[in-house]
Amino acid sequence: MNAPTDRVARIQEAWRRERPDVDVAPQGIIGRLHRLATHLDDELDTVYARHGLGFGEFDVLATLRRAGAPYERAPGEIAQHTMVTTGAVTKRLDRLVAAGLVERRPAEGDGRRRVVALTPAGLRVIDTAFTEHMANERRLVDQLSPTDQAALEGILRRWLAAYE
């Protein structure tokens, strides 16, 4: 018998031995997705850190940048576009304000409404970080053939659609 090829295969092998009555085949997909996500997060975090950011700060800056000029959103809108709670957004914003990358200010035309906007420094940081981030993602997906990339993207899109 061939030796298992990875940690997930070894875990599955042990479960098959101990619980032959349970189908552990799904663990081969889910377990590998979890392990791969951990490795990918580590690779992505390296780029964020080079720009003085964590994932959360990068996410907020990217959300503001995607909004288009003047690169601002209300805090509630940031929460919607980053899929985190408003409390988590507040903590991220506090760090970004302290770093001089965003500013809180009244919205133009409505002094009662508050917005968060990229500062010129924030715009420079996110543009530089995003360019490097996309090159890093290209490096990571290029470990797969173009055919595998297209197949995997289609599979993941369909699977994710079942939840979203």
User: Is 141 within a domain?
Assistant: yes
User: Is 27 within a domain?
Assistant: no
CB 8 within 8 A of CB 28: yes
The CATH code of the domain that includes 97 is 1.10.10.10
Q: How far apart are CA 120 and CA 75, in angstroms?
A: 19
Cβ count within 10 A of residue 74:
13
Q: What's the pLDDT tens digit per position in 65-81?
A: 999 999 999 988 998 89
Show the domain range for 104: 52-161
Q: What's the pLDDT tens digit per position in 105-154?
A: 988 877 778 899 999 999 999 999 999 999 999 999 999 999 999 999 99
- What strands, in cross-sheet order, belong to the sheet with 102-107? 72-73, 110-118, 102-107
Number of domains in the chain: 1
From residue 7, alpha-carbon distances to 27, 35, 43, 68, 144 in Å are 11, 9, 20, 44, 20
User: Is 18 within a domain?
Assistant: no
- pTM for the whole structure: 0.86
